[in-house]
Amino acid sequence: MSVVVIATISPQPEHAEEVRQAVLDTVPRVHEEPGCERYSLHQGRDGALVMVEKWESPEALATHGKADALSSLSGRLEGKLTGAPTVTVLDALPAGDAGKGAL
């Protein structure tokens, strides 16, 4: 069963571009991780970076959490965020059209 995750990273204003670039650099590496079905970066109007993720299984998500790409990114972001990233793991509640009602 797939796992959907929303991760929000809020950079300090003076580090916004550096944080954005660090995340952009990391995306292709995560795309190569086993079980990655979606790792899609978005930017909120408030400057927050929001990652919409979909993993093949809870095990794939757990492996991602320990992978080099994420560890390296954490180092690059140290001291440049307004606080710890927020990570929300979601359970699907499909509704309506099957193609539009779930990730």
- Summarised one tens digit per residue, pLDDT across range 21-66 is 999 999 999 999 999 999 999 999 999 999 999 999 999 999 999 9
pTM for the whole thing? 0.91
**Where does the pLDDT of residue 12 fall: very low under 50, low under 70, confident under 90, or very high at 90 and above?**
very high
Place of tokens 């408030």: 46
Are 54 and 60 contacting, i.e. CB atoms less than 8 angstroms apart?
no
Name, in order, each residue with C-beta under 8 angstroms of 60's C-beta and a sequence gap of 6 or more: 3, 33, 34, 35, 36
Question: What is the spatial distance between Cα 34 and Cα 97, in angstroms, rounded to a whole number?
Answer: 29
For domain 3-91, give its CATH number from 3.40.50.261, 3.40.50.720, 3.40.50.1100, 3.30.70.100: 3.30.70.100
| The pLDDT of residue 15 | 98
**Where does the pLDDT of residue 72 fall: very low under 50, low under 70, confident under 90, or very high at 90 and above?**
very high
